[in-house]
Amino acid sequence: MASFTRAELDSFVGAEVPDLVGDRVRLLFVGINPGLWTAATSTHFAHPGNRFYPALRLAGVIDREISRTDGMTDADRAYLRERGIGITNLVSRATAKASELSRDELRAGGAALAERVARIRPTVVAIAGITAYRSAFGRPEAAMGRQPEPLAGSVLWVVPNPSGLNAHETAHTLASAYAEPARAAGLVLSPP
């Protein structure tokens, strides 16, 4: 099990984690920005308290464990790509907390994401975090769920953030929320 000192994690402030995308992305998950554990392990949504991968498994989107503590193996990355699952972020720089990002960074990240989506052309985009979505796209009244307008031609959903800091969500409530865009992308292996 990976473990890092505070100083080791702090050394990753500002680092970037490469997007995980394959040739045919059907469902693109979008985080707010990499956390320090994510940067340290080069694995999106990595942190012992993050519920992203357990929720995907509960939702029937994936059928294997992916370590959110130690990071992905090359086989894990290949598996997600083969399933048509991609992962990126609104803002690429790593911070200890998403609250360290400015509105300008989020707006610039939203514009960059729209360009990335136009290039990658996923069937469905699922942005994890309503507050970040509202800021990035200037949609202060947006609600969770499927959005009325597509993003660069892709069906757009906003889903809850899986961070352990989002305490009112559980792996089960996240699984229910993530199953919806996964179904729209044709990626649910089994009913949640």
What confidence tens digit (pLDDT) does each residue in 9-52 have?
999 999 999 999 999 999 999 999 999 999 999 999 998 889 99
Domain ranges within the chain, ordered by starting residue? 6-184
The residue behind tokens 């090359």 is 74
CA nearest to 40, candidates 90, 6, 80, 66: 6
pLDDT of residue 174: 96
pLDDT of residue 74: 95
Hey, what amino acid is at 36? L
Averaged pLDDT for residues 86-105: 95
Answer yes or no: CATH 2.60.40.10 is held by domain 6-184.
no
pLDDT of residue 15: 96
**What are the residues whose beta carbons fall under 8 Å from the beta carbon of 48, sequence distance 6 or more?**
37, 68, 69, 164
**What are the residues whose beta carbons fall under 8 Å from the beta carbon of 98, sequence distance 6 or more?**
32, 33, 129, 132, 161, 163
Tell me the pLDDT band of 71, cut-offs 50, 70 and 90: confident
pLDDT of residue 108: 98
* Measured distance CA(116)–CA(7) in Å, rounded: 33
pLDDT of residue 191: 55
Tell me the pLDDT band of 190, cut-offs 50, 70 and 90: low
Please say if the pLDDT value at position 99 is more than 70.
Answer: yes
Question: What does pLDDT average to over the chain?
Answer: 93
Q: Evaluate whether 142 touches 134 at the Cβ level (below 8 Å).
A: yes
Task: Determine phi and psi for 159, rounding to 5 degrees.
Answer: -120, 165
Q: What is the pLDDT of residues 174-186, one digit of tens each?
A: 999 999 999 999 9
Please say if the pLDDT value at position 1 is more than 80.
Answer: no
Report the chain's C-alpha Rg in angstroms: 15
Q: Are strands 124-128 and 85-89 parallel, antiparallel or unpaired?
A: unpaired
Please say if the pLDDT value at position 168 is more than 90.
Answer: no
pLDDT of residue 12: 95
**What are the residues whose beta carbons fall under 8 Å from the beta carbon of 94, sequence distance 6 or more?**
12, 13, 14, 15, 16, 17, 33, 34, 35, 36, 38, 39
pLDDT of residue 70: 87
